[in-house]
A and B are shown apart, each in its own frame.
Chain A
Amino acid sequence: KAGVTQTPRYLIKTRGQQVTLSCSPISGHRSVSWYQQTPGQGLQFLFEYFSETQRNKGNFPGRFSGRQFSNSRSEMNVSTLELGDSALYLCASSWGGSTSDEQYFGPGTRLTVT
């Protein structure tokens, strides 16, 4: 069974640009969660999608957005990039049916903003 895949693995962008990251969950999983990982703040929850609907959202500005498609693949978008957006962006997939579902992470996308 294939794991969670994320593309691209590495990105370098300039301040003010926008970026789109993609995540393909484990087959059969309907929930995709996104997290930002930085050395200073650790792993922080961005948002979660289930059946094409955003169910939960963390404390991030509106520049961070996402969506989910009918095949459960998800994308997240960051507009007007800032230097502080440099981070490892991780997505995790799960069945999504309970608060105690196991979440499996992808390898992440390393975003560098210059």
Chain B
Amino acid sequence: GENVEQHPSTLSVQEGDSAVIKCTYSDSASNYFPWYKQELGKGPQLIIDIRSNVGEKKDQRIAVTLNKTAKHFSLHITETQPEDSAVYFCAASMNSGYSTLTFGKGTMLLVSP
């Protein structure tokens, strides 16, 4: 089955710095790669996603890149703010069927003022 590895597990940055989280996946048939932000006591919130026919996607301070050959994708957050502090998860679609995702273990991002 699909396996997704995510690094780093913890990331501390100063406000205004950039943050990068990286993920690799194993199933070359995966075609959808979403990123979720989870705050304490809440469910994961979809913040950006990318499909396999696109190499890069940007939404304001957030961008995602995908390298299908190397089977890795990354989340880039620029000009970080304290409210960006949360746990971020990457995921990849499972080739076994619709609406099924395999998740990375998560990255706790801490943004200090």
Residues of A within 8 A of B (CB): 4, 31, 33, 35, 42-45, 48, 50, 55-56, 58, 90, 92, 94, 96-108
Contacts and interface: CB of A to CB of B under 8 A. Distances in A.
Interface of B: 31-32, 34, 36, 41-46, 49, 51, 89, 91, 93-106
A81 to B, nearest CB: 22
Contact of A33 (B45, B49, B95, B99): B99
A103 B99 contact: yes
A100 B45 CA distance: 16
A4 to B, nearest CB: 8
A6 to B, nearest CB: 8
A64 B34 CA distance: 26
A105 B106 contact: no
Contacts of A102: 34, 46, 49
Contact of B43 (A48, A90, A94): A90
A97 B98 CA distance: 7
B34 A103 contact: yes
A25 to B, nearest CB: 11
Contacts of A55: 97-99
B31 A100 contact: yes
Contacts of B103: 35, 42-44
Query: Which 9 residue pairs across A and B have the least CB separation, nearest first?
Result: A100-B32, A105-B43, A56-B97, A43-B103, A31-B99, A107-B43, A105-B44, A42-B105, A48-B99
20 contacts: A4-B43, A42-B89, A42-B104, A42-B106, A43-B89, A45-B101, A45-B102, A55-B99, A56-B94, A56-B100, A96-B99, A98-B98, A100-B93, A101-B98, A102-B34, A103-B34, A103-B46, A103-B101, A105-B43, A105-B46
A55 to B, nearest CB: 6
B100 A45 contact: yes
A9 B101 CA distance: 23
